């Protein structure tokens, strides 16, 4: 890792090809770059630097794969047929502090955080001196940088720290992240802040992003952070913090701002969400992956096809016969019940038939309805009617569910149903482990012996699962301390 936070990155990537599968660790192919310390002196250069920040964010080291899939691989909704060896240490809970997945998430998460911080610093410096007509564009760049930093910190604090709340129990004082408000000078000594302070920094960034978006608008593109996506991320963060009223408010704002008034309720329309690119009319923020610029063998689509990950037998068992989500539960010609080979699922890219071309949809409307449902059930004065109304929007993907009367009647039954509904709806979106952790319920993991429903770890406490800070960062000697007893939280 070579103290990636503290050695100055020196340049910000402007552009580069996404295609390829063999980049060396710590190597970043730069086709064009600018010096971050001297050249962020114009709106154009800030825009170029922001493009480079998106590139680091979208890479398969971070949101393009590792940071997106880790929460599902270490859970009950995924199956690995063991024919390849890709991220199986996460799936089997044998990961170490030298593991590739956590190293990449840490390194590239902090690249995004550092680069976003430099864009934000340039915004603060330039806004007083540039012509009035340029301030609008610069403000949108700053809003996106704030949102990217918030998203990356949120991912990292959940991977490398304890859940902030576990069914009411507060872990705010545990170790969180190194908070980067200003770019950190090379070879500086730093320390990890608390989880609570990390979440406060995330909320501050989101508030700044939302304020700038509300004042200036956004680019109106699925492939750039926008106001609806910022509201959606704020809903997710507040849900994790158990700020349930705020989570409900932001989720409603995300839906309203996005203009997403209905979901797909036929097998054909549901499958069409995952055709390619902007086909997902239920999404608010996605990666700009194309047929020519993609992660090829390192894509999520490849992971969920030729690299042998698929929906678990348990997940398949809880999908009703008339559930439209079955339309993407497609298996390849080489698949067998005992050794399933998946066709990509949400990464199927059905318009082209090549899962490697699939886009990662990161913030989506169905999650916003599930956030409203859960928050209404768990807030201090539960509102079962409001919870059912929001839950039905998603649950009626099962065509046998047509009205609120088809949902469970009591709070506890609704919560149990919602947990399963989250598994059905959010499969391949990376939330499952973190949901199980924060709910504080017993969970299952490491499925085997398909098509039977069998888990290596059954009915175990997953709330203390924490991934270690990479040992290269710890050994660099610049102040980052390892999470105490991180290894003790593994399921037994």
Residues 468-483: tens digit of each pLDDT: 999 999 998 899 999 9
What's the mean pLDDT in 436-441? 98
What's the mean pLDDT in 114-118? 96
Q: Phi, psi (5° rounding) for residue 448?
A: -150, 170
The pLDDT-based confidence of 185 (bands split at 50, 70, 90) is: confident
- Strand 283-286 and strand 11-15: the pairing is unpaired
CATH entry 3.90.230.10 includes domain 11-266+312-325+367-489? no
Q: Is the pLDDT of residue 2 over 50?
A: no
What's the mean pLDDT in 152-158? 98
SS3 sequence of the chain: CCCCCCCCCCEEEEECCCCCCCCCCCCCCCCEEEECCCCCCCHHHHHHHHHHHHHHHHCCCCCCCHHHHHHHHCCCCEEECCCCCCCHHHHHCCCCCCCHHHHHHHHHHHHHHHHHHHHHHHHHHHCCCCCHHHHHHHHHHHHHHHHHHHHHHHHHHHHHCCCCEECCEECCCCECCCCCCCCCCCCCCCCCCEHHHHHHHHHHHHHHHHHHHHHHCCCCCCCCCCHHHHHHHHHHHHHHCCCHHHHHHHHHHHHHHHCCCCCCCCHHHHHHCCCCHHHCCCEEEECCCCCCCCCHHHCHHHHCCCCCEEECHHHHHCCCCCEHHHHHCCECCCCCCCCCCECCHHHCCCCCCCHHHCCCEEEEHHHHHHHHHHHHHHCCCCCHHHHHHHHHHHHCCECCCCCHHHCCCCHHHHHHHHHHHHHHHHCCCCCHHHHHHHHCCEEEEEEECCCCCEEEEEEEECCCCCCCCCHHHHHCCCCCCCCCCHHHHCCC
Q: Is the pLDDT of residue 311 over 80?
A: yes
Q: Is the pLDDT of residue 199 over 90?
A: yes
State the pLDDT at residue 6: 37
Q: Which residues, 6+ apart, have CB-to-CB distance to 299 below 8 Å?
A: 60, 64, 65, 289, 347, 355, 356, 357, 358
Beta bridge partners of 286: 361
- Taking all residues of the chain, what is their mean pLDDT, rounded to a whole number? 92
State the pLDDT at residue 119: 96
The pLDDT-based confidence of 188 (bands split at 50, 70, 90) is: confident
What's the mean pLDDT in 379-393? 98
pLDDT above 90 as % of the chain: 87
State the pLDDT at residue 35: 58
pLDDT above 70 as % of the chain: 92
What's the mean pLDDT in 353-379? 97
The pLDDT-based confidence of 24 (bands split at 50, 70, 90) is: very low
Give the residue extent of every domain in the chain: 11-266+312-325+367-489
What's the mean pLDDT in 440-448? 97
State the pLDDT at residue 36: 54
Tell whether pTM > 0.85: yes
The pLDDT-based confidence of 38 (bands split at 50, 70, 90) is: low
State the pLDDT at residue 184: 86
What's the mean pLDDT in 168-191? 93
State the pLDDT at residue 25: 21
């Amino acid at each position: 890792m070579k103290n990636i936070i503290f050695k100055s990155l020196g340049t910000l990537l402007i552009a580069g090809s996404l295609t390829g599968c063999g980049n060396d660790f710590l190597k970043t192919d730069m086709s064009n770059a600018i010096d971050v310390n001297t050249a962020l002196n114009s709106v154009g250069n800030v825009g170029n630097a922001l493009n480079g920040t998106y590139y680091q964010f979208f890479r398969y080291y971070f949101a393009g794969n590792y940071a997106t899939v880790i929460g599902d691989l270490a859970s009950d909704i995924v199956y690995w047929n063991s024919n390849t060896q890709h991220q199986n240490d996460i799936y089997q809970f044998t990961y170490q502090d030298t593991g590739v997945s956590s190293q990449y998430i840490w390194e590239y998460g902090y690249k995004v955080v550092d680069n976003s911080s430099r864009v934000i610093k340039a915004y603060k410096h330039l806004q007083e001196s540039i012509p009035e007509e340029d301030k609008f564009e610069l403000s949108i760049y700053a809003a996106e940088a704030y949102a990217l930093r918030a998203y990356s910190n949120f991912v990292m604090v959940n991977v490398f720290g304890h859940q902030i709340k576990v069914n009411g129990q507060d872990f705010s004082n545990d170790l969180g992240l190194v908070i980067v408000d200003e770019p950190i000078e090379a070879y500086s000594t730093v320390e990890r802040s608390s989880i609570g302070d990390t979440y406060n920094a995330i909320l501050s960034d989101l508030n700044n992003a939302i304020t700038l978006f509300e004042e200036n608008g956004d680019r109106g593109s699925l492939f750039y952070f926008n106001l609806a996506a910022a509201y959606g991320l704020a809903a997710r963060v507040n849900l994790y913090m158990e700020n349930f009223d705020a989570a409900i408010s932001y989720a409603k704002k995300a839906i309203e701002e996005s203009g997403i008034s209905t979901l797909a309720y036929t097998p054909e329309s549901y499958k069409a969400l995952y055709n390619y690119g902007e086909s997902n009319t239920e999404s608010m923020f996605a990666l700009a992956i194309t047929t020519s610029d993609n992660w090829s063998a390192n894509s999520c689509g490849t992971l969920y096809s030729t690299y042998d990950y698929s929906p678990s037998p348990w997940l398949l068992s809880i999908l009703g016969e008339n559930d439209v989500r079955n339309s993407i539960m497609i298996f390849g010609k080489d698949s067998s019940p005992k050794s399933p080979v998946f066709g990509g699922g949400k990464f199927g890219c059905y318009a082209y038939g090549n899962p490697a071309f699939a886009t990662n949809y990161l913030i989506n409307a169905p999650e916003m309805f599930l956030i409203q449902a859960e928050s209404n059930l768990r807030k201090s004065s539960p509102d079962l009617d409001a919870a059912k109304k929001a839950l039905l929007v998603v649950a009626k993907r099962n065509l046998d569910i047509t009205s609120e009367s088809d949902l469970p009647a009591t709070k506890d039954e609704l919560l149990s149903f919602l947990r399963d509904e989250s598994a059905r709806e959010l499969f391949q979106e990376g939330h499952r482990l973190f949901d199980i952790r924060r709910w504080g319920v017993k969970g299952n993991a490491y499925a085997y012996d398909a098509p039977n429903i069998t888990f290596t770890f059954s009915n175990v406490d997953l709330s203390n699962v924490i991934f270690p800070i990479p040992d290269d960062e710890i050994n660099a000697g610049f102040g980052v301390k390892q999470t105490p007893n991180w290894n003790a939280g593994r399921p037994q």
